[in-house]
Structure 1
Amino acid sequence: MNTTNGGAVGINRPQTMSQLVSSQSLMQQATLTYSNLLGKEARQGDLNPNPAQTARVRAIVNRLIPQTAVFRPDALSWKWEVNVIRSPEVNAWCMPGGKIAIYTGIIDKLKLSDDEIAAVMGHEIAHAVREHAREQASEQSLLQLGMLGAQIGGVGRGTVNAAGQLYQVGVGLPHSRLHETEADRMGVELAARAGYDPRAAIGLWQKMSKLGGNPPEFLSTHPSPDTRMQDLAVYSERVMPLYLAAKR
């Protein structure tokens, strides 16, 4: 199946989705987890500590959300939320169903422009729109069923464990890197359609690469910064006409 339309960036890869993992169940779990997290951060005084910063992030996200209809019209009916969490961590995320958080660490340490915040948020929103979390959960559930079946069939535990490790390096991690690439490409299109310069994603990853600490690409769930920037250069140019049209 394919959870999204291809858009201008052409995301048309067939996805593996297990009937054991539904969109609705993941959204319900995400809503509960998000509510609990916000409650914890609020009690600590770390939820939306700077009203002006929160308003800035929400204004950017509110321009991105309508663009999700290009990939999947039903996303417009999600109960989107976006909050800023005070933390030194350089991170942001979007849970299934549109529950978004960005940490002050990524905004302040990288001194993000509005275009760069749009690149971050577009990427994270794309993960949710494309249902990457559900896809990964589906793959894991199918792997576990397969390993259980192998054990029932008499395959030794050591062989099963080795097969699981080979899956992670040979299939699981590459799929995660593929998800990151899809989110990069969809993210620049969302940003461009919302009137944010898609080329800012390249500058964002130039800043990120200076943070260091990257594992070898073949053992990473993320593409290397160089690989990522090369791909973003191609796809940001592809969506430049959308950006120029939105700026008129």
Structure 2
Amino acid sequence: MPKLQPLSVLIAAALLAGCQAVNTTSGGAVGVDRKQYMFSMLSTEQVNQMYAQSYQQTLSEASSKGVLAKSGPMTRRVDAIAQRLIAKVPVFRPDAAQWDWAVNVIDSPELNANCGPGGKIIFYTGLIEKLQLSDDEIAAVMGHEIAHALREHGREAMSKAYGVQMATQLGSAMGVGSGSLQLANMGVEYLMTLPNSRGNENEADLIGLELAARAGYNPNAALTLWEKMASAGGSAPPEFMSTHPSSSTRTATLKANIPKVMPLYEQARR
């Protein structure tokens, strides 16, 4: 155990060395203004480009299988909601208005949706069909996913991974035992990565809530959305071991913040 202390110092040093504190978005009405540490050699443009290549590969595979929904009522519906949300991203991040946004629908039973770095959106038909989502609920999901991209949670996670890798290499070079390294890495996983992932989910919930409200979608739909998701998910793991907030925690947080964004929704509706 005594050897864990110098390794923890190495981890902290590796995370800070070569990192810069940034605030990727404005706080908005919901007040998300946490400083983030990003690896300086891993730029926003690099991450966006890497993801764009992966995104195109996913689309190509879907197209080859005949499941890329290029037209039809659902595709038009998803695209229309996306365009309203994208129009509001400058409130949180002005430069995101110049991103090369893309919206695609994949005909698949998966209960899934994603917006990767740089504004690359994928929606799976199973999410809409199986949960019978309203437009407001689709906007809640999409706003949440767009928020992850705006906050650059992917780049942030990669920066942390680089820091841990650097610390592990330094620890090995200094003769720290493999058992201590394994235990330290487990500590990093549960004491840093997972809590921050839950924090990132919370940030995405809040920014997504406001983004949808500003686009004219009822913020109360976030509550019905996560109720449906919880019902579809069945038995969930304990919150401590999960990267996602528990259903009750998420609902309580959303309820507490809906009054902050309701005036924005009402203004948008007018």
Q: Shorter-chain TM-score category? A: over 0.9
CA offsets 1:30-50 (integer angstroms, 9 cap, x no match): 111111111110111100166
- Percentage of matched positions with identical amino acids: 51
Match of 2:202 in 1: 181
Query: Distance in 1 between the 2:171 and 2:29 partners?
Result: 43
CA offsets 1:187-240 (integer angstroms, 9 cap, x no match): 010000000001100000011111213111001000001100111111122100
Match of 1:135 in 2: 156
| TM-score computed with the length of structure 2 as normaliser | 0.90
SS at structure 1 position matched to 2:121: strand
Flag structure 2 segments of 5+ consecutive residues without an equivalent. 1-21
Q: How does 1:196-215 map to 2 (within 5 A)?
A: 196-211=217-232, 212-215=234-237
Match of 2:61 in 1: 40
SS at structure 2 position matched to 1:13: coil
CA offsets 1:51-84 (integer angstroms, 9 cap, x no match): 1100000000000001110111000000100111
Flag structure 1 segments of 5+ consecutive residues without an equivalent. none
Q: Does 2:167 correspond to 1:146?
A: yes
Task: Return the offset for 1:20.
Answer: 2.9
Quote the RMSD (CA, aligned, Å). 0.9
Match of 1:126 in 2: 147
Check whether the contact 2:70–2:104 (CA below 8 A) recurs between aligned residues: no
CA offsets 1:134-156 (integer angstroms, 9 cap, x no match): 00100110111011111111101
Q: Larger C-alpha radius of gyration, 1 or 2?
A: 2
Number of equivalenced pairs: 248
SS at structure 2 position matched to 1:177: helix
Check whether the contact 2:69–2:105 (CA below 8 A) recurs between aligned residues: yes
Moved over 4 A (4+): none
Check whether the contact 2:136–2:221 (CA below 8 A) recurs between aligned residues: yes
Q: Does 2:40 correspond to 1:31?
A: no
Query: Distance in 2 between the 1:186 and 1:139 partners?
Result: 22
| TM-score computed with the length of structure 1 as normaliser | 0.98
Task: Return the offset for 1:111.
Answer: 0.2
SS at structure 1 position matched to 2:122: strand
SS at structure 2 position matched to 1:76: helix
Q: How does 1:1-248 map to 2 (within 5 A)?
A: 1-48=22-69, 51-211=72-232, 212-248=234-270
Which residue type is aligned with residue 241 of structure 1? Answer: P
SS at structure 1 position matched to 2:87: helix
